[in-house]
Amino acid sequence: MIRQSLKYRKTITVIGFLCLLLLVYLLLILKRDINDKVTSHQRLSKKEERIFESEPKREKHVKLAKMELDKNIHSTIKELQDAKARIEHLEKKIAILEGRIPEKYPDVKYLGYKERKRILVTGGAGFVGSHLVDVLMTQGHEVIVVDNFFTGRKRNVEHWFGHRNFEMIHHDIVNPLYIEADEIYHLASPASPPHYMQNPVKTIKTNTVGTINMLGLARRVGAKILIASTSEVYGDPMVHPQPESYWGHVNPIGPRACYDEGKRVAETLAYSYAKQENVSVRVARIFNTYGPRMHVSDGRVVSNFIMQALQNLTITVYGNGKQTRSFCYVSDLVDGLLSLMASSYTLPVNLGNPVEHTIEEFAMIIKNLVPGCRSTVATGAAVEDDPQRRRPDIAVAEANLRWSPKVTLKDGLQRTIDYFREELSRTTFYNNQTYMDINVKPHN
Ligand code: NAD
Ligand code: UDP
Ligand code: UDP
């Protein structure tokens, strides 16, 4: 019994000794680990090591901690500076983008989804197109403008940029276009003689291939399509005033042919698609139209004469000035286009103002409307194939659309002169371009 208890005590002592040894061993491992962590964390630079070696231990630690802190502060300051520069850069970008978005859009009516139409306006960044877009937008429709900016400008529609009902597509309609629409106003085509004569092949392609594409689109989606035709389909007319029933007098190979014949083919295409493919078409034969947003250097008579009068330059009448034109203010034309689209009348309709003036008279009207104008009126060589008389017979529009122009020439010109005066103040120069090489001589 005594021997057994002695043996038991010995075993306990041995086990206790072994436990002590294990404890010491564990403590040693733990200490080495801590040392390793401290050295790897502090990774001393050579300069720091030197300090470490040369100074008392506590001071050394304080210095090292300070250095570490300085390093951290320095990198934080750098990060803050980088962030500040990035924020400034983004702020500038936002300011530019905000500058492009109008602070307030013109008032737009709310239309329920049943009344709201999706309307495509080709050439919507041009003179007539942009005014039409304004009315369609304020009526509350969704408007898609398609334009290649050949003669149009983003500026004409920029007040709608960003509006949820507005979309702008930079596209040349000579290429196919696959979108959805309920109605199409097909206005894309240069309209001023110097513009369409500048690239006659493109003018023909736009009015033929481009019109086929728009008719193809109308056919695919079942949209109603209005084609912007022109009084030029009557050429240099032998009938006066011109009714829709007149077939015209056009030189097929003259300088105006690319436009005149292009529009005649566009009309033919419209009625072929109507007959063969059941496309619902409207054809507006538009006579000379004027108003704000005409391009200052588009070479048409209204822009040329007003710009010349505002700068006291010679007013350049081409030929003897006895040729006539009838001028329609743009808001009247837009009303006519909307009425035609809404009507069930499918044959061509003249839209224009029947008040007729000779170009010579027109020069004097403009001169007298610009206060203090010192311009002289001069005549020059006549333009080839220039139509000599033009006045719309608007009986069809009056009877079927209940439409006739409202704005007088004086009021319309006054608004247009104000617009051109504003345009002049925006530009530092105006190149007094006339579109033909004309030898201008003083008027007798
Ligand atoms: P505009 O030159 O100001 O506008 C025409 C628009 O069509 C421009 O924005 C132009 O960039 C765009 N365009 C031209 N070719 C294109 C193409 N291939 N693809 C896409 N866009 C293209 O002319 P406007 O005076 O506003 O005339 C509009 C329409 O009315 C034209 O079809 C024109 O023939 C017709 N028209 C106008 C008048 C008038 O006195 N303003 C008279 C008769 C007919
Ligand atoms: N087209 C288009 N958008 C459409 C549908 C047709 O641009 O949504 C073009 C098409 O590329 C074609 C033209 O319109 O060149 C005429 O189309 P149509 O369907 O009349 O004839 P087809 O496709 O048989 O040539
Ligand atoms: N015209 C003019 N001086 C000009 C510009 C045009 O006498 O600086 C004449 C032009 O010869 C034509 C008429 O004004 O007889 C209308 O020309 P515009 O180019 O405006 O349109 P058009 O009706 O000929 O398409």
Within-domain flag for 219 = yes
Within-domain flag for 19 = no
**Closest residue CA from atom 6 of ligand 2:** 216
Regarding whether 252 and 382 lie in a shared domain, the answer is yes
| Best residue for ligand 2 mutational test, from 146, 212, 215, 276 (most atoms within 8 Å of Cβ) | 212
Task: Give the model's pLDDT for residue 326.
Answer: 98
Q: What is the pLDDT of residues 337-364, one digit of tens each?
A: 999 999 999 999 999 999 999 999 999 9
Atom of ligand 3 nearest to the CA of 317: 7
Regarding whether 310 and 178 lie in a shared domain, the answer is yes
**Closest residue CA from atom 15 of ligand 2:** 213
Q: Which of 79, 94, 109 is at the close of a domain?
A: 94
Pick from 424, 246, 404: nearest CA to 329 = 404
Mean pLDDT of 153-175: 97
CATH of the domain at 143: 3.40.50.720
Out of 60-64, 120-124, 180-184, pick the least confident: 60-64
Q: Residue 125: CB within 6 Å of ligand 3?
A: no
Task: Give the model's pLDDT for residue 93.
Answer: 82
Regarding whether 400 and 279 lie in a shared domain, the answer is yes
Within-domain flag for 51 = yes
What CA–CA distance (Å, rounded) separates 181 from 298?
31
Phi, psi at residue 319, to the nearest 5°? 80, -160
Q: Are 209 and 175 in contact (CB under 8 A)?
A: no
Between the CA of 316 and the centroid of ligand 1 the distance, in Å, is 24
Model confidence at 433, in pLDDT bands (50, 70, 90)?
A: very low
Out of 34-43, 70-79, 400-409, pick the least confident: 34-43
Within-domain flag for 249 = yes
Cis peptide before 405 (omega within 30 of 0): no
Position 49 pLDDT exceeds 80: no
Between the CA of 264 and the centroid of ligand 2 the distance, in Å, is 20
Mean pLDDT of 232-237: 98
Regarding whether 72 and 217 lie in a shared domain, the answer is no
Exposure letters 417-438 (e unless 16+ CB within 10 A, then b): bebbeebbeeeeebeeeebbeb
Out of 48-57, 75-84, 180-189, 197-206, pick the least confident: 48-57
Regarding whether 207 and 143 lie in a shared domain, the answer is yes
Regarding whether 107 and 54 lie in a shared domain, the answer is no
Within-domain flag for 270 = yes
What residues are annotated to the active site?
A: 259
Question: How do the residues of the chain divide into helix, strand and coil, expressed in percent and rounded to 5?
Answer: 50, 15, 35
Q: Which of 76, 94, 112 is at the close of a domain?
A: 94
Regarding whether 146 and 81 lie in a shared domain, the answer is no
Q: Would strands 166-170 and 142-147 be described as parallel, antiparallel, or unpaired? A: parallel
Regarding whether 121 and 82 lie in a shared domain, the answer is no
Ligand nearest to the CA of 313: 3
Position 404 pLDDT exceeds 60: yes
Position 403 pLDDT exceeds 70: yes
The DSSP code for 161 is T
Task: Give the model's pLDDT for residue 92.
Answer: 82
Domains identified in the chain, total number: 2
Q: What is the pLDDT of residues 253-311, one digit of tens each?
A: 999 999 999 999 999 999 999 999 999 999 999 999 999 999 998 999 999 999 999 99
Regarding whether 206 and 249 lie in a shared domain, the answer is yes
Pick from 295, 321, 324: nearest CA to 307 = 295
Which carries the bigger pLDDT value, residue 233 or residue 39? 233
Q: Residue 282: CB within 6 Å of ligand 3?
A: no
Pick from 444, 433, 267: nearest CA to 350 = 267
In 3-state terms, what secondary structure has residue 228? strand
Pick from 103, 220, 109, 102: nearest CA to 165 = 109
Within-domain flag for 256 = yes
| Best residue for ligand 2 mutational test, from 173, 220, 273, 275 (most atoms within 8 Å of Cβ) | 220
pTM: predicted TM-score of the whole model, two decimal places: 0.81
Mean pLDDT of 415-425: 96
Q: What domain range includes position 80?
A: 25-94
Position 224 pLDDT exceeds 90: yes
Which residues have C-beta within 8 Å of that of residue 312, sequence separation ≥ 6? 373, 374, 375
Out of 17-31, 229-243, 247-261, pick the least confident: 17-31
Regarding whether 411 and 270 lie in a shared domain, the answer is yes
Regarding whether 65 and 191 lie in a shared domain, the answer is no
270: part of which helix (H) or strand (E)?
A: helix 257-277
Task: Give the model's pLDDT for residue 438.
Answer: 36
Position 249 pLDDT exceeds 80: yes
- Identify the sign of the CA torsion 39, 41, 46, 48: negative
The DSSP code for 383 is P
Q: Which of 41, 64, 94 is at the close of a domain?
A: 94
What CA–CA distance (Å, rounded) separates 248 from 429?
41
Atom of ligand 1 nearest to the CA of 289: 40
Regarding whether 120 and 29 lie in a shared domain, the answer is no
Out of 9-23, 241-255, 289-303, pick the least confident: 9-23
Mean pLDDT of 325-339: 98
The angle subtended at Cα 64 by Cα 60 and Cα 65, nearest 5°, is 120
**Mean pLDDT of the chain, nearest integer:** 89
